[in-house]
């Protein structure tokens, strides 16, 4: 076979600062070279930043009933209501500023998305590491469960978990716990992808001789898993986590759209779209349009970053 | 003088890479005459494979022929449009790749693949093509080709598959065969057969061969003329005998000198033959249970299949000596090594370290961890890529709590790096910043860091180029002298074992067929298997 | 062959068993079935009486056994919400879902495969760039937004196609089909496209990734070195080898279309089992949830089995073991 030219950099290169080395690394090189990725990163940072800073930059507090006025209702974008209030993206039926509800809504969407992904990652990585390292029956059982999970759409599993939670938790507490139920439901419906990837990578890594070397020295298996194997399986996990975040945000929006997601007191982007849908056909398009665009941009930006990350970490695909 | 089949003139192959242009082949010129076998030899990165790919027009992206010309029987072919080039391939230039396990499409029978190729190039109908395919397989030495032709690739062994690949490459009677490391993935005994088949078939057809390999032994036995390449350029050209016996260029001289031979005299070693054994291996046995699942056994009536990887192996290793364990793939030598260091538990038998059973648990295990270390084959996989070299080398000291604090560990690491002839500043770097040979030295430093007495070396130089191999072997030897180390050297490379070992054991199919002092075994082998092995091995001394 | 299928069958039974257990636990322990059936103001004796009659006081395994026995006969109890037998409910809504799922699966498969092959074979073409970017937009668009968007454009603004429902259906006695009337077919277009888009992008990206991987293999390079035509290499060799891994995942993706239809059915008010399920989740109508879960699991198991058999047919390494190789 043809051997790829092996260009090891000269070992005695001048030491540069860590920051420079990062900037100069292949990953950032591919980042600098991809305008789409740069735009996606900027969009993602803007959207996430705006969501985090919502209380400070939102012109109105849409959830303060005292500030709401039904007379403000249905104001078109970029105009003033009869009450003299200016609405950049218009207002909804209750007179809430759409721009402000989007800022707060993105906050809820991101909160759920990030925590759900983190939860899925935690389960997936621990099960994947265990399955890959221990092997045998443990592996077979874990992977069979993961297979089953993967073949059911996440939305169905999330719906089921949600339904179960609704049946178990007393109604009085449901509203307080809804957000957490949602996070757990989405997390539990997305762990399998992590588990599979981590398990595959772990099986490769544990065959490698640096693991054998550690075993010869009598290093504790847990230490081997955490210090040796885990850092080496993180690259694909990072890719899945990014794409998983986009999926989780979409999943949350879908559940909220179906009316089984976040409570109405904390509307997410999906809830806003559900509300907006009622007015789409009567001409008040902005109530749906702006939350929908925000959701799409957010998911698209995160997906684009994930896509770039996958290509950058796996140079064979280029 | 007849016209050359292939003329390559000032060939330059470039890879535009991020950090500038990489010139893989830099101004190479040579001719191959009809019926000639030209050996192209060089270490990794020499550009020898790329030259072959350039001739047949299969350079991987983003590489390209930047300048130069390639002529096939006088016709220029490097600038042909892709369609024309595709018609030449297989028809006039055939190619054989290194790995027979991946060269054939697993979803088609070998007959389908042969017939498809034959009918692409020759005006034949299905039946004629099939007959021709059967003839080719017979010539390539496949037994009962009439039935085997309908088998799938996975039903053949590696050596048989390489015969099929050669039959495929020759199916349309090409003028030139480019064989890129055709035997490197095969065992020694199979290697010899494949070389013979390739040579015979090409001779009978008058086809010229360009034999690309890193193995000077293969060239010595096969080729008539050879070129030596280094860093994209031709260093030396000449007849095989001349170059091996009287190399002219400095690079070639060094290269030839660093190639070990099975005829080399063993270095004088001053271990008294009666020295107390440090390691005693007693009746070591290891079975692997490869039985199918329970349901399968019930339904198909298949029985439990137990593979006896190692059977009843016993040997002693004298303190301060090197014991070489040789054998082909699947002989059980690596399983043995892994049982000696505590990675695989023996099914039966004992491993005694100065009388303590290392598998008995308790003090035996503790003894083993401290006194036994291992060096692995692949220097890319044996160092954790996410750890700094300093941490890698210090790991045994930390795991065994041999150092009190960080400072002490760092001092020891710096010391060890100097011992393996690396700059102590290396401890701040990551493994990917080093070459293969340097990495192997880091691995040796790690093995030394717990101050062991016994080091198991599993194919320590198989992944390295010969010149680097010589350096690493030299380092291992001087460390042995300095610390009085005892080595178990596992290798498929008989020449390396001859050069390094005091005693040697030959394994085949899990059994130790012969053992004794290294000179006795090599010069006067008793077991049939050892004789076959020594005959089959392509060796630089076998040049005619 | 027989052993292979029997082994898969055994695995399927285990899977169904596990899902049945989950369904049963759901059925039995989520909410109080008795309270759901009787309503708030019944007497305590009624509760105890019904409890006895439903066998809720029996030991766990007896109840589970009864549940499985009933399930095998297609008995899943009575919907709390609609007070009709669950099986009847599901059967009446099944044709709508199956027709929708089938249409979408067809769209996803045909376009997913051809686009995937195209983008893999022409990795540097401009069109590939466009398709790949669109596919990324495709996975970033939530299904319900695609549905709303299509309704807005084609039903509200252009008024070409209906925005909800199944249109006119023809009753074949055991099956109500919308495929035989013009309004039924027109109603199917938008939901089918909506439902197919996500699977389409997934299948396309999968086929592309696998095919690129195959094209890098040695046997493809060797096929080039043998002088085979591009056509023979791409479609004879590469495509067939691509299909081996693709079959599994594609099969399962198509299977999940049925479950995925939950969202699409809600957006288009399509009278299928998906919308039935979502309404049941909202009011915790446990018997319907449990039955739906079992139904989806059954679809999954059947498709899995078909996929395994296909796999077996394509890959000779499974059919013929390596024995009989000569040295």
Task: Spell out a b/e string for C253-288, using b for 16 or more CB atoms within 10 Å of the CB, else e.
Answer: bbbbbbbbbbbbbbbbebbbbbbbbbebbbebbbbb
Which residue in A has a C-alpha nearest to residue B425's C-alpha? A12
Other Cβ atoms within 10 Å of B495 Cβ, number: 20
Chains that touch A (3 or more CB pairs under 8 A): B, C
> Taking 90 as the threshold, does the pLDDT of residue A99 lie above it?
no
Say yes or no: B461 contacts chain A, CB-CB below 8 A.
no
Cβ–Cβ under 8 Å, residues B169 and B100: no
- The per-residue pLDDT for A10 is 41
Angle at B232 between CA B231 and CA B235, to 5 degrees: 80
Confidence grade of residue A84 (pLDDT, cut at 50, 70, 90)? low
Residue A81 lies in a domain: no
H-run or E-run covering B162: helix B158-169
> Taking 50 as the threshold, does the pLDDT of residue A59 lie above it?
yes
Cβ–Cβ under 8 Å, residues A166 and A182: no
Helix (H, G, I), strand (E, B) or coil at B487: strand
Q: Does the distance separating the beta carbons of A253 and C259 come in below 8 Å?
A: no
Kindly report which listed range (A219-228, A307-316, C136-145) carries the lowest average pLDDT score: A307-316
Strand ranges (DSSP E) for B97-149? none
Higher-pLDDT residue of A169, C42: A169
- Rg for chain C (alpha carbons), in Å? 24
Q: Does the distance separating the beta carbons of A3 and B374 come in below 8 Å?
A: no
Domains, chain B, in order of start with CATH, read 6-257 (3.40.50.300), 378-451 (no CATH)
Say yes or no: A1 contacts chain C, CB-CB below 8 A.
yes
Q: How far apart are CA C141 and CA B112, in angstroms?
A: 45
Q: How far apart are CA B36 and CA C310, in angstroms?
A: 49
Say yes or no: C142 contacts chain A, CB-CB below 8 A.
yes
Residue A12 lies in a domain: no
From residue B191, alpha-carbon distances to A218, B125, C6 in Å are: 39, 35, 43
From residue C99, alpha-carbon distances to B275, B318, C94, C273 in Å are: 84, 78, 9, 12
Q: Which residue carries 């446990």 as its tokens?
A: C286
Residues 41-60 in B contacting C (C-alpha not used; CB under 8 Å): 56, 58
Phi/psi at A305 (5° precision): -65, -40
User: How much is the mean pLDDT over chain A?
Assistant: 80
pLDDT (average), residues C25-33 = 70
Say yes or no: B300 contacts chain C, CB-CB below 8 A.
yes
From residue B300, alpha-carbon distances to B295, B297, B360 in Å are: 8, 6, 40
- In chain C, where are the structural domains located? 93-277
ipTM of predicted complex: 0.82
Say yes or no: B396 contacts chain A, CB-CB below 8 A.
yes
Chains that touch C (3 or more CB pairs under 8 A): A, B
Phi/psi at B94 (5° precision): -110, 160
Chain A residues whose beta carbon lies within 8 Å of the beta carbon of residue C133 = 36
Q: Domain C93-277 belongs to what architecture?
A: Orthogonal Bundle (1.10)
User: Domain range spanning residue A313?
Assistant: 27-62+88-317
What's the token pair of residue B82?
A: 């892709």
Say yes or no: B15 contacts chain A, CB-CB below 8 A.
yes
Q: Does the distance separating the beta carbons of B120 and C325 come in below 8 Å?
A: no
CA distance B188 to chain C (A): 14
What's the token pair of residue A44?
A: 């993602």
pLDDT (average), residues C302-314 = 82
Q: Do the bridges between strand B37-42 and strand B225-230 make them parallel or antiparallel, or are there none, so unpaired?
A: parallel
- The per-residue pLDDT for B376 is 92
Q: Does the distance separating the beta carbons of B108 and C314 come in below 8 Å?
A: no
Chain C residues whose beta carbon lies within 8 Å of the beta carbon of residue A244 = none
Q: Does the distance separating the beta carbons of C256 and A153 come in below 8 Å?
A: yes
Q: How far apart are CA A54 and CA A76, in angstroms?
A: 22
Residues of chain B with pLDDT below 50 are: none
Cβ–Cβ under 8 Å, residues B150 and B108: no
Sheet of B277-289: strand order equals B306-318, B277-289, B348-353, B356-357
Nearest CB among B104, B121, B293 relative to C227 is that of B121
CA distance A85 to chain C (A): 30
Secondary structure of chain C as H, E, C letters = CHHHHHHHHHHHHHHHHHHHHHHHHHHHHCCCHHHHHHCCCCCHHHHHHHHHHHCCCCCHHHHHHHHHHHHHCCCCCECCCCCCEHHHHHHHHHHHHHHHHHHHHHHHHHHHHHHHHHHHHCCCCHHHHHHHHHHHHHHHCCHHHHHHHHHHHHHHHCCCCCCCCCCCCEECCCCEECCCCHHHHHHHHHHHHHHHHHHHHHHHHHHHHHHHHHHCCHHHHHHHHCCCCHHHHHHHHHHHHHHHHHHHHHHHHHHHHHHHHHHHHHHCCCCCHHHHHHHHHHCCCHHHHHHHHHHHHHHHHHHHHHHHHHHHHHCHHHHCCCCCCCC
Confidence grade of residue A7 (pLDDT, cut at 50, 70, 90)? very low
Q: CB under 8 Å to B414, separation ≥6 — which residues?
A: B424, B427
pLDDT (average), residues A67-90 = 66
Which residue in A has a C-alpha nearest to residue C148's C-alpha? A277
Cβ–Cβ under 8 Å, residues B416 and B451: no
CA distance A212 to chain C (A): 30
Say yes or no: B84 contacts chain C, CB-CB below 8 A.
no
Nearest CB among B45, B99, B343 relative to A212 is that of B343
Residue A17 lies in a domain: no
Q: Does the distance separating the beta carbons of C218 and A1 come in below 8 Å?
A: yes
CA distance C15 to chain B (A): 17
Supply the CATH number for residue A266's domain.
Answer: 1.10.3720.10
Chain C residues whose beta carbon lies within 8 Å of the beta carbon of residue A151 = 252, 255-256, 300, 304
Q: Does the distance separating the beta carbons of B382 and A11 come in below 8 Å?
A: no
Q: Does the distance separating the beta carbons of A250 and C140 come in below 8 Å?
A: yes
> Taking 80 as the threshold, does the pLDDT of residue A82 lie above it?
no
Q: How far apart are CA B157 and CA B74, in angstroms?
A: 40
- The per-residue pLDDT for B177 is 92
Chain B residues whose beta carbon lies within 8 Å of the beta carbon of residue C230 = 86
Residue A225 lies in a domain: yes
Higher-pLDDT residue of B164, A73: B164
CA distance C302 to chain B (A): 21
Beta bridge partners of B23: B14
What's the token pair of residue A201?
A: 């990578």
Q: Give the tens place of pLDDT for each residue, C199-243.
A: 898 889 889 988 988 988 889 989 988 888 888 888 888 988 888
> Taking 90 as the threshold, does the pLDDT of residue C13 lie above it?
no
Burial bucket for residue C4 (CB in 10 Å: 0-12, 13-18, 19+):
middle
Q: How far apart are CA B400 and CA B388, in angstroms?
A: 19
Sheet of B20-32: strand order equals B20-32, B6-17, B64-72, B75-76
Chain C residues whose beta carbon lies within 8 Å of the beta carbon of residue B102 = 217-219
What's the token pair of residue B30?
A: 């040579």
pLDDT (average), residues A241-251 = 90
CA distance C125 to chain B (A): 15
Q: How far apart are CA C244 and CA B484, in angstroms?
A: 56
**Own/partner pairs, B473-481, CB within 8 angstroms, 24+ separation:** B473/B260, B473/B499, B473/B500, B475/B420, B475/B421, B475/B441, B475/B444, B476/B444, B476/B500, B477/B267, B479/B419, B479/B420, B479/B444, B479/B448, B480/B320, B480/B322
Domain count, chain A: 1
- The per-residue pLDDT for A9 is 43
Kindly report which listed range (B7-21, B171-185, C69-83, C96-110) carries the lowest average pLDDT score: C69-83
Higher-pLDDT residue of C194, C159: C194
Helix (H, G, I), strand (E, B) or coil at B353: strand
Say yes or no: A87 contacts chain C, CB-CB below 8 A.
no
H-run or E-run covering B230: strand B225-230
> Taking 80 as the threshold, does the pLDDT of residue A65 lie above it?
no
Say yes or no: B372 contacts chain A, CB-CB below 8 A.
yes
Burial bucket for residue B237 (CB in 10 Å: 0-12, 13-18, 19+):
middle
Which residue in C has a C-alpha nearest to residue B98's C-alpha? C218
């Amino acid at each position: 076979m043809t051997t790829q030219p092996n260009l090891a950099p000269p070992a005695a290169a001048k030491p540069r600062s860590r920051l420079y080395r990062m900037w100069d690394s292949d990953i950032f090189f591919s980042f600098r070279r991809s305008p789409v990725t740069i735009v996606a990163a900027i969009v993602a940072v803007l959207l996430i930043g705006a969501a985090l800073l919502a209380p400070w930059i939102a012109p109105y507090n849409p959830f303060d009933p005292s500030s709401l006025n039904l007379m403000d209702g249905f104001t078109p974008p970029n105009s003033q209501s009869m009450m003299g209030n200016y609405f950049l993206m218009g207002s909804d039926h209750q007179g809430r500023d759409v721009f402000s509800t989007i800022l707060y809504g993105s906050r809820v969407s991101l909160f759920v998305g990030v925590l759900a992904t983190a939860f899925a990652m935690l389960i997936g990585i621990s099960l994947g590491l265990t399955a890959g390292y221990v092997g045998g029956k443990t592996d077979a059982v874990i992977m069979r469960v993961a297979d089953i999970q993967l073949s059911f759409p996440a939305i169905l599993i999330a719906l089921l978990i949600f339904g179960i939670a609704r049946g178990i938790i007393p109604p009085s507490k449901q509203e307080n716990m809804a957000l957490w139920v949602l996070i757990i439901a989405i997390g539990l419906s997305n762990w399998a992808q992590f588990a599979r990837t981590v398990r595959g990578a772990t099986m490769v890594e544990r065959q490698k001789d640096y693991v054998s070397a550690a075993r010869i020295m009598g290093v504790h298996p847990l230490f081997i898993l955490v210090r040796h194997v885990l850092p080496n399986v993180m690259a694909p996990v990072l890719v899945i986590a990014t794409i998983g975040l986009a999926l989780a945000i979409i999943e949350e929006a879908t559940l909220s759209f179906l009316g089984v997601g976040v409570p109405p007191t904390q509307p997410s982007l999906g809830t806003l779209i559900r509300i907006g849908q009622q007015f789409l056909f009567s001409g008040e398009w902005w109530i749906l349009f702006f939350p929908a665009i925000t959701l799409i941009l957010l998911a698209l930006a995160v997906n684009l970053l994930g896509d770039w990350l996958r290509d950058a970490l796996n140079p064979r695909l280029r | 003088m007849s016209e050359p089949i292939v003329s390559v003139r000032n060939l330059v192959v470039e890879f535009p890479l991020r950090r500038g242009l990489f010139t893989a082949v830099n101004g190479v010129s040579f001719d191959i005459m009809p019926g000639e076998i030209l050996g192209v030899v060089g270490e990794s990165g020499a550009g020898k494979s790329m030259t072959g790919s350039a001739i047949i027009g299969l350079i991987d992206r983003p590489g390209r022929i930047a300048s130069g010309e390639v002529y096939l029987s006088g016709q220029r072919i490097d600038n042909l449009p892709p369609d024309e080039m595709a018609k030449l391939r297989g028809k006039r230039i055939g190619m054989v790749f290194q790995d027979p396990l991946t060269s054939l499409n697993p979803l088609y029978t070998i007959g389908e693949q042969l017939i498809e190729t034959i009918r692409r190039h020759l005006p034949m109908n299905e039946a004629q093509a099939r007959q021709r395919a059967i003839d080719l397989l017979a010539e390539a030495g496949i037994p009962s080709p009439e039935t085997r032709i309908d088998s799938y690739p996975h039903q053949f062994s590696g050596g048989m598959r390489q015969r099929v690949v050669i039959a495929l490459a020759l199916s349309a009677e090409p003028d030139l065969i480019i064989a890129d490391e055709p035997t490197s993935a095969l065992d020694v005994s199979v290697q010899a057969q494949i070389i013979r088949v390739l040579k015979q078939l090409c001779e009978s057809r008058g086809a010229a061969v360009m034999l690309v390999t890193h193995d000077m032994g293969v060239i010595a036995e096969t080729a008539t003329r050879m070129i030596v390449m280094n860093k994209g350029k031709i260093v030396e050209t000449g007849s095989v005998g001349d170059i091996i016996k009287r190399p002219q260029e400095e690079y070639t001289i060094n290269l030839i000198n660093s190639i070990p031979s099975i005829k080399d005299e063993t270095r004088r070693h001053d271990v008294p033959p009666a020295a107390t054994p440090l390691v005693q291996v007693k009746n070591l046995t290891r079975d692997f249970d490869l039985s199918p699942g329970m349901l399968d056994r019930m339904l198909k009536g298949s029985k439990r299949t137990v593979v006896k990887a190692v059977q009843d192996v016993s040997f002693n290793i004298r303190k301060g000596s090197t014991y070489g364990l040789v054998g082909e793939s699947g002989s059980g030598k690596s399983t043995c090594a892994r049982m000696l260091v505590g990675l695989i538990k023996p099914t039966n038998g004992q491993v005694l370290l100065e009388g303590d059973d290392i598998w008995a648990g308790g003090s035996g295990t503790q003894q083993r961890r401290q006194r036994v270390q291992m060096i692995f084959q692949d220097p890319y996989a044996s160092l954790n890529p996410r750890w700094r070299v300093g941490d890698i080398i210090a790991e045994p000291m930390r795991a065994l709590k041999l150092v009190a604090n960080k400072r002490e560990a760092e001092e020891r690491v710096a010391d060890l790096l100097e011992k393996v002839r690396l700059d102590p500043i290396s401890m701040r770097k990551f493994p990917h910043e080093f070459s293969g040979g340097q990495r192997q030295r880091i691995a040796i430093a790690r093995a030394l860091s717990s101050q062991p007495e016994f080091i198991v070396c599993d194919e320590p130089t198989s992944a390295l180029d010969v010149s680097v191999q010589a350096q690493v072997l030299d380092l291992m030897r001087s460390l042995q002298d300095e610390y009085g180390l005892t080595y178990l050297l596992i290798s498929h490379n008989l020449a390396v074992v001859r050069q390094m070992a005091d005693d040697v054991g030959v394994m085949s199919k899990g059994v130790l067929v012969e053992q004794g002092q290294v000179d006795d075994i090599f010069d006067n082998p008793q077991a049939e298997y050892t004789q076959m092995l020594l005959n089959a091995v392509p060796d630089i001394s076998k040049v005619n | 062959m027989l052993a292979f299928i029997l082994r898969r069958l055994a695995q399927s039974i285990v899977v169904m068993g596990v899902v049945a257990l989950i369904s049963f636990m759901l059925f039995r322990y989520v909410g109080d079935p008795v309270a759901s059936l009787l309503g708030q103001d019944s007497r305590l004796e009624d509760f105890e009486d019904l409890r006895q009659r439903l066998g809720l006081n029996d030991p766990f395994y007896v109840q589970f056994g009864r549940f499985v026995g009933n399930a095998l006969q297609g008995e899943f109890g009575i919907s709390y919400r609609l007070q009709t037998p669950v099986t009847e409910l599901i059967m009446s809504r099944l044709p709508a879902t199956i027709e929708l799922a089938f249409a979408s699966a067809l769209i996803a498969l045909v376009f997913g495969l051809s686009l995937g092959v195209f983008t893999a074979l022409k990795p540097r073409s401009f069109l590939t760039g466009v398709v790949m970017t669109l596919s990324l937009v495709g996975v970033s668009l939530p299904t319900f937004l695609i549905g709303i968007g299509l309704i807005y454009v084609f039903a509200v603004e252009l008024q070409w196609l209906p925005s909800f429902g199944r249109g006119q259906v023809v009753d074949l006695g055991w099956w109500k089909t919308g495929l035989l009337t013009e309004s039924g077919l027109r109603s199917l277009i938008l939901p089918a496209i909506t439902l197919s888009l996500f699977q389409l992008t997934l299948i396309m990206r999968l086929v592309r990734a696998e095919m690129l991987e195959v094209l890098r293999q040695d046997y493809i390079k060797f096929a080039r070195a043998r002088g085979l035509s591009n056509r023979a290499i791409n479609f004879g060799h590469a495509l067939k080898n691509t299909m081996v891994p693709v079959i599994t995942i594609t099969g399962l993706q198509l299977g999940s279309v049925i479950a995925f239809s939950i969202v699409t059915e809600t957006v288009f008010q399509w009278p299928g089992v998906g919308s039935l399920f979502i309404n049941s989740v909202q009011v915790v109508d446990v018997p319907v949830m449990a039955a739906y879960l079992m139904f989806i699991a059954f679809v999954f198991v059947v498709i899995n089995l078909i996929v395994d058999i296909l796999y077996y047919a394509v890959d000779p390494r499974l059919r013929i073991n390596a024995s009989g190789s000569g040295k």
